[in-house]
Amino acid sequence: MKCFVTLATAAVCLSPAMTGKAASSGSAFYGDAPDAHHPWAIHDQNRPQPKIVTPGTFSSVDQPGKPPSDAIVLFDGTDFSKWESAKDGSAPKWVLADGAMQAAHVGDIRTKEQFGDCQLHVEWAAPKVVEGDSQGRGNSGIFLMGMLEIQVLDSYNNVTYADGHAASVYGVNPPMANALRPPGEFQVYDIVFRRPVYRDNQVVDPGYVTVFVNGVLAQDHTTLEGGTGHMSRSKPGPFPERGPLQLQDHNNPTRFRNIWYRPLPPRAVEGGTDGPLTTEATMAKRKQIAASIREDAALIGADHAVQKMLRLMESLSYEKDEPTVQKIEEMASQYVASVKALPADQIGAKKDEVKRVNSAFQYLAKFKALPPSFGPKVETEKLVKDNGWDKK
Ligand code: MG
């Protein structure tokens, strides 16, 4: 097990399975250090752990699955409490029956809640009795933020224009596969949506949509061209930050069930810190991490002086801070002096600890967080050498 002190002051222990080989090093000074575009080191123990989500269950044709633990459920088959008429905000007049809601020739409905980037799960079924053809068969639609239609259509044995098939970005991009089940059976859409981001009317990120239909990839990170429309070519453009999820009533009795979403964390262009970062954002994050580590070090008691010193040294990987360098210099000098003062028969017990401090100094020098000539580094190097601890 690998243990280290966190901001919460509690020791956190990671099993070797969680940390890989790094666990055996027993050191935070391990992978390549933070650089101009990466605020964290490789295999950085200070990087936040991923959020724990309990997965749900998959749906069958007969039975909707269970959403994951952090999903926001928009429709569970029991009521319209999260929905309203898109026309006037009144209560939806769609039909609620057998755990599903059905378009009833009364107009689109939309969620009361507005949201942006998301993982969205929607299940729908075209009418079992086939009527009409092309766009007139089982037509509905899922409008992300009320602006971008992911087509819902009975595309099973139904020829229509390619960019209007089920799971098309309507009028923009056809699905790369038609993986529909027969009409009457529930289809499962899993969508990942990233809205366009503009700043000062300049595109920062055009936005993307990925769609799986019954587990088959239909849209692969498709670049958005603004919203969608009928007959008119869509044009790239900004979206608001949030919008409702809207379901189309195209006068076909399409049914929906099991609708939920999970909001997505911000992208790097919106202040997120995973993914390619600008130097400015990276350095700001590095400063923040360094400050957190220094705060953490301040909580370590004087009876754990080496641990405290190593934690302070760790902070230098992220930000060079002169008062911290001075503190380390002072602590390391005292440490080296205390080791040197030990009787010959006791110094051997310090071997691993001194080597650990020395490795940390070597690491910081390698990644230019400290100069190679830094006094305490030279002294610990010498201590290792003089005691023959550098030999295998
Ligand atoms: Mg439609």
**Residue 83 CA to ligand 1 centre (angstroms):** 19
Asked if pLDDT for residue 18 goes beyond 50, the answer is no
From CA 53, how far away is CA 168, in angstroms rounded? Answer: 30
From CA 146, how far away is CA 241, in angstroms rounded? Answer: 12
**Residue 349 CA to ligand 1 centre (angstroms):** 74
Q: How far apart, in Å, are the Cα atoms of 323 and each of 114, 303, 329?
A: 47, 21, 10
From CA 320, how far away is CA 283, in angstroms rounded? Answer: 11
Asked if pLDDT for residue 16 goes beyond 90, the answer is no
Domain 72-270 indexed as CATH 2.40.50.140: no
Burial, 167: exposed, middle or buried (Cβ in 10 Å; 0-12, 13-18, 19+)? buried
pLDDT at 27: 61
Asked if pLDDT for residue 26 goes beyond 60, the answer is no
* Residue 220, phi then psi, degrees to nearest 5: -110, 90
**Residue 149 CA to ligand 1 centre (angstroms):** 7
Pairing outcome for strands 109-115 and 243-247? antiparallel
**Residue 252 CA to ligand 1 centre (angstroms):** 10
**Residue 143 CA to ligand 1 centre (angstroms):** 9
Q: Are 351 and 389 in contact (CB under 8 A)?
A: yes
**Residue 163 CA to ligand 1 centre (angstroms):** 11
Asked if pLDDT for residue 9 goes beyond 90, the answer is no
Question: Which residues fall within 8 angstroms of residue 341, CB to CB, at 6 or more apart?
Answer: none
Where are the chain's structural domains? 2-50+277-386, 72-270
pLDDT tens by residue, 155-177: 999 999 999 999 999 999 999 99
**Residue 139 CA to ligand 1 centre (angstroms):** 5
pLDDT tens by residue, 73-114: 999 999 999 999 999 999 999 999 999 999 999 999 999 999
**Residue 165 CA to ligand 1 centre (angstroms):** 9
What is the residue-wise DSSP string for 128-159? SS--S-GGGSS-EEEEETTTEEEEE---TT--
**Residue 234 CA to ligand 1 centre (angstroms):** 15
From CA 339, how far away is CA 153, in angstroms rounded? Answer: 76
Asked if pLDDT for residue 362 goes beyond 50, the answer is yes
Asked if pLDDT for residue 19 goes beyond 50, the answer is no
Query: How does the average pLDDT of the chain come out, rounded?
Result: 92
**Residue 68 CA to ligand 1 centre (angstroms):** 28
pLDDT at 237: 87
pTM attached to this predicted model: 0.88
CA-CA-CA-CA dihedral for 219, 177, 146, 248, to nearest 10: -170
